[in-house]
Structure 1
Amino acid sequence: MQENVTVISGVHYKTGEPVTISVEDGIIKGIRQQSPEDADHSLPLIGPGLVDLQINGYSGTDFNTVPLQDRTVEKVTRALWKEGVTSYYPTVITNGDDEICQALQTIAHACKSDSVSDAGVAGIHLEGPFISKEDGPRGAHGASYVKAPNWSLFQRWQEAAEGRIKIITLSPEWPEAARFIERCVEQGVTVSIGHTAATEEQIAEAVRAGARMSTHLGNGAHLTLPRHPNYLWEQLSQDGLAACVIADGFHLPDSVLKVVLRTKGERALLVSDAVYLSGMEPGAYKSHIGGSIVLTPEGRLHIADNPKLLAGSVQLLPHAIYHLVRRGLAGLGEAWDMASVRPAAFMDLPSQQGLAVGAPADLVVFVQAENRIFIQQTYKAGKQVFSV
Structure 2
Amino acid sequence: MKRFLCLFIVMVILLVGCTPSKTIQTKSSESSEPSESSVLYKTMLSPDNKLSIVRKPNEVDYSFIHPGKMTELPSYNPNSGQMWQVDLRSSDLTNLDLSEKLDDLLYADFDSKTKWPNKLPYGFEPQMIMELGKNPGLGLRGLHKKGITGKGIGLAIIDQGLLVDHVEYKEQLKMYEEIHCSDENASMHGPAVASIAVGKTVGVAPEADLYYIAETHGVFNEKGQFDWDLSWLAKSIDRIVEVNKTLPEDKKIRVISISLGIVRNTNGYEKALESIKKAEQEGIYTVDVGSNPYMGLGRNPLKNADDITSFTKGELWKNQEYNNYQLLIPMDSRCTASPTGVNDYVFYRNGGISWAVPYVAGLYALTCQVNPDITPDVFWEEAFNTSDTISVDSSTKETFGKIINPVRLIEKIEKIK
Under a length normalisation based on structure 2, what TM-score does the superposition of the two structures give? Answer: 0.29
Greater strand share, 1 or 2? 1
Under a length normalisation based on structure 1, what TM-score does the superposition of the two structures give? Answer: 0.31
